Structure 1
Amino acid sequence: MLSRHTEREDKFTVADDVALPGLDDLVSPGGQAVTDSFRLVNLYHDTDERDLRQARLTLRRRTGGPDAGWQLKLPAGPARTEVSSRSRARTVPSALAAVVLGLTRGRPLVPIAELTTERAVVRLLDEGGVLLAEVADDRVSSATLGGEARLDHWREVEVELGPAGDEALLGRIGHRLVEAGASPSTYGSKLGRALGAPAPRLPEPAELTTVADVLSRYVSTQCAEIVAGDLALRLGEPQVHRTRVAIRRLRSTLRVFAPLLDPEPSLRLDTELRWFAGLLGEVRDREVLLERLQGQLADLEPELVLGPVAADLDVLLTGEAAQHLRAARESLTTARHLELLEALVRWQTEPAFAEGVGAPAKEVRVLAQGAATTMRRRLKQALRAGDEQEERLHRARKAAKRARYAAELAEPVWSRAAAQVSAAKDLQTQLGEHQDSAVSVVFLRRAGAAAGGRSGRNGFTYGLLLAREQQRAAAIRAALGVAG
């Protein structure tokens, strides 16, 4: 079983002969400073390709001390999230291996470094015995494993906030350490210091001088966002909306800038992104629909809400969302999904460019403007549509998204990109509201019919909501000047 908590700490480098300052006066009346000492042995694991380190994650097995076991640490803004297993197994627990599977893509996790730490701890407690902060004076010996061994020894101090502490306390302790001769560490982790080199980074152009530079930066950002969404889903913290938006942006780039891309790998990636987006869409669509209908119910006069409509909607849509979320999680272990993640990493490092990407960066505006032209053409087609009106409006909405994302991509090198982003976003919002109404109508028709056949329920309120959704859709079409 895994547990999780957020860790906020600062690290300081300290010479061996520096005496640390007293901290007892930082404890409030009734509190106390408690000292202890431990010998910790940490065995760090990663793939031979250093997939975890590149993603700024560390995975270790600790022996000794109160938190012996396995810990996976992930970046979380200025803090870190620690996912722990109390397992004493020598091999990586399957639950933790499953969390990082999207990063390793099945490659074995092997020991890469062993660190031994002699730790002297001062724990500052408030009057209720709750931890304010923990100050750990660590004397570390490290040895890298595999290939050429690298030995090192150093002293550092970690100051970690407890649940009763705050940033001001962290600052006061840090200021006192610096006055005593410590200096802020330039390493984000002990493992980074042991390995002696900065974590590998994906290449990013220093300047956007060519079309390839502009495309590479945008594509790499979306790929990284999708991989981060995969990790969040495995951790049980699905970022469905953010991940879907990144998928949309990447698919839009594959379509709009297709003349600059190798068609075969682009089509293959687009197909797999559409598959994964479909799984996430089933979850997100129900979340959006539930929020929308709950808001509309709250606006109705109480006498117009007949029966437990809100509760029934919550049970139905939350249950369906949970079912589709399970399906999305089950897909994470499939060969198809792991191959998609592998493809995303390849596109970050070696995007499948064709001829023309060596042109000056500002030339991306040509295809971005073409996406805006397509958006306007499809809107005009929808304005004249008859029986195919819903489909035409849906196509215009997709074109608006592509025009927006294409302009976002070009924004660093095209002065007029912001205007296109704004215009496309406005149209996307209008057509998105129309699409949401259309989806709501279909759902309300189904839910209302089902309610009519259940004891203690009836379809009146569902029918009322359906009629109002139809009115909203009609008002949007009228505002756009759509025929019919």
Structure 2
Amino acid sequence: MADTKREIERKYEGPTTGGGTGLPDLTSVSGVTGVIGKGVSELDATYYDTADQLLAAASITLRRRTGGADAGWHLKLPVSDGVRDEIRAPLSDTVPHALTSLVRSRLRDAELLPVVRLRSSRDVRHLVDDSGALLAEASVDRVRAERLGDGKGSTQWTEIEVELADDGDPAFLDKVEKKLLKAGLHRSASPSKLARALAETGAAPPARTPAPGKAPATAGDHVLAYVRAQRDALVELDPAVRRDLPDAVHRMRVATRRLRNVLRSYDDVLDRTVTDPVRDELKWLAGELAGERDQEVITRRLTASLDDLPKALRSGPVRNRLRTWSQARHSGSRRSLIEVLDGRRYLYLLATLDALVSDPPLRKAAGKKAAKVMGKAVRKDFEKLKDLVAEARGLPPGEERDLATHEARKKAKRTRYAAEAAVPALGKPAKSVAKSTKTLQKLLGDHQDSVMARDALRDLADKAQAAGESSFTYGLLYGREERQAAADESALAKAWKKAERKAAF
């Protein structure tokens, strides 16, 4: 079983560490009333990566460490500058599946190998406040690094590491840093011990996705830049989806939709005989993500509606039934989603996207001026959206109109994503279209969410009646959803007029 710790730390080096004088006096740092020595620990860590350092290229570290209070397997995933999530698993002879699954989108079928061994003598001090509460842990690490595998290269250095206590204020690290800088230290150039060890033992630099050599100029340049960004988003969001982090499923689903829609919108740039099969697979992945995401949306919507009801109108165990219903559906969809992410079909899709970016099936229009080609594509999508909105608004309320509204919503998304991709080339006009179609998409999406919420309320009411409970509250919430859908449709007319004005470029 793995557990997670948010790690916020900074590393320093300089004359103080190099001269062997150790940690400067930190008792004068504001808020610190005591510096408590916790002794010296001998740490021995072996770091794992692929032969071409796919994990290091993404600033990810995976190690097996003995010694200290947290011996075990540690996977560190970057969150932001100086902030990482450390996922821990107990010691074992092989890398735990709970950790390898979190980097599967990076590894694919590549083998993990021991690449570096770090042995550190860590002299630890606790910085505490007047109540004895821990503010941060400061340590002097004397590190010896040995390159593994090819049997070449070793190095050693001393660094100071300051790690914020759990739930601490990051501003406290600024106070400590001020003292350390005054003592002659400076921030370490390397983001991690592993990065420094790799650099100083003569290892080849990590394999990174090559950045374009120049700014995008042609239509092909711009479309491929957008496709590359969404491909990267899929890979980067994979661990968050597996960890069930808030909004991760939604963001991954959006990345698949952006990819799929842009490949269709810019079929003058990229050959559809190649991209259509990719779009089919992206549609499949989005569908697998839909169950998890739709459940999140419906549960959040119904919970908020229930919270808005006066207590006197909540008849029966409505909240408990909603919670049980949601948990049962979430558990099932979650297991199914993890099976998808662990499957060969998903890995093949990622590999196909890599190939699409590295060897794109460019058509003649790809070499033309971006503004002309991309502007034409955005206007073409908007005209199709115009027809669908008119069709939906012309139908009487009911299932047929709901279906037409849903189709208009999907086209609004395609138009929005086409405009987003065109912003670097077209500037303000594309940004205006993207903004106005996003508003349309939201209104149309709210309408679709209301349709799904009403279906869920019917299901909940049936279950409540079968259990001998009152269905009064479910009917009340159903009526509110109907009124909200009508309000969304009224707002749509105004939003549509604005979108039409913005699309006239």
Please confirm whether the aligned pair reaches a TM-score higher than 0.5, indicating the same fold: yes
1:357 has 2:360 as partner: no
2:286, 2:63 → 1: CA distance? 33
1:394 to 406, 423, 427: 406
Q: Which structure 2 residues correspond to residues 395-410 of structure 1 after superposition, within 5 A? A: 395-410=407-422
2:340 to 317, 331, 340: 331
Residue 368 of structure 1 corresponds to 378
Please give the per-residue CA displacement for 1:353-374, whole angstroms capped at 9, x wherever unaligned. Answer: 3332222232322212221121
- How far 1:408 sits from its partner (Å)? 0.9
1:19 to 21, 36, 61: 21
3-state SS, counterpart of residue 357 of structure 1: helix
Q: How many equivalent residue pairs?
A: 480
Q: Which structure 2 residues correspond to residues 295-306 of structure 1 after superposition, within 5 A? A: 295-306=304-315
1:190, 1:431 → 2: CA distance? 50
1:472 has 2:484 as partner: yes
Aligned 8 A contact 1:27 1:33 in 2: no
TM-score, structure 1 normalization: 0.91
1:427, 1:36 → 2: CA distance? 61
2:356, 2:144 → 1: CA distance? 39
- How far 1:18 sits from its partner (Å)? 5.7
Change (3 A) 1:34 1:412: same
1:379 has 2:389 as partner: yes
1:3 has 2:3 as partner: yes
Q: Which moved more, 1:464-473 or 1:26-35?
A: 26-35
Change (3 A) 1:113 1:271: same
The residue type paired with residue 231 of structure 2 is C
2:259, 2:278 → 1: CA distance? 10
Residue 172 of structure 2 corresponds to 169
Residue 420 of structure 1 corresponds to 433
Please give the per-residue CA displacement for 1:4-61, whole angstroms capped at 9, x wherever unaligned. Answer: 1111111122242263422234486863421522332221111123221122100111
1:114 has 2:117 as partner: yes
- How far 1:328 sits from its partner (Å)? 0.7
1:404, 1:164 → 2: CA distance? 39
Please give the per-residue CA displacement for 1:155-183, whole angstroms capped at 9, x wherever unaligned. Answer: 22211122375334322322222223222
3-state SS, counterpart of residue 179 of structure 2: helix
2:252, 2:485 → 1: CA distance? 28
3-state SS, counterpart of residue 160 of structure 1: strand
Q: Which structure 2 residues correspond to residues 451-466 of structure 1 after superposition, within 5 A? A: 451-455=464-468, 457-466=469-478
Q: Which moved more, 1:149-158 or 1:403-412?
A: 149-158
3-state SS, counterpart of residue 364 of structure 2: coil
Please give the per-residue CA displacement for 1:230-271, whole angstroms capped at 9, x wherever unaligned. Answer: 111223436111111112211111221123223244222222
1:82 has 2:82 as partner: no
Aligned 8 A contact 1:126 1:164 in 2: no
Q: Which runs of 5+ in 1 are unaligned?
A: none
1:57 has 2:70 as partner: no
Change (3 A) 1:345 1:136: farther
- How far 1:403 sits from its partner (Å)? 0.8
2:251, 2:413 → 1: CA distance? 15
Residue 43 of structure 2 corresponds to 40
2:443 to 426, 430, 436: 430
- How far 1:473 sits from its partner (Å)? 2.9
Residue 226 of structure 1 corresponds to 234
1:318 has 2:330 as partner: no
Aligned 8 A contact 1:9 1:158 in 2: yes
1:216 has 2:201 as partner: no
2:47, 2:268 → 1: CA distance? 45
Residue 498 of structure 2 corresponds to none
1:471, 1:429 → 2: CA distance? 17
2:71, 2:43 → 1: CA distance? 8
1:230, 1:42 → 2: CA distance? 26
TM-score, structure 2 normalization: 0.87
1:448, 1:388 → 2: CA distance? 24
Aligned 8 A contact 1:286 1:318 in 2: no
1:133, 1:304 → 2: CA distance? 50
Change (3 A) 1:334 1:431: same
Aligned 8 A contact 2:12 2:187 in 1: yes
- How far 1:189 sits from its partner (Å)? 0.9
2:238, 2:8 → 1: CA distance? 24
1:194 has 2:202 as partner: no
- How far 1:481 sits from its partner (Å)? 6.4
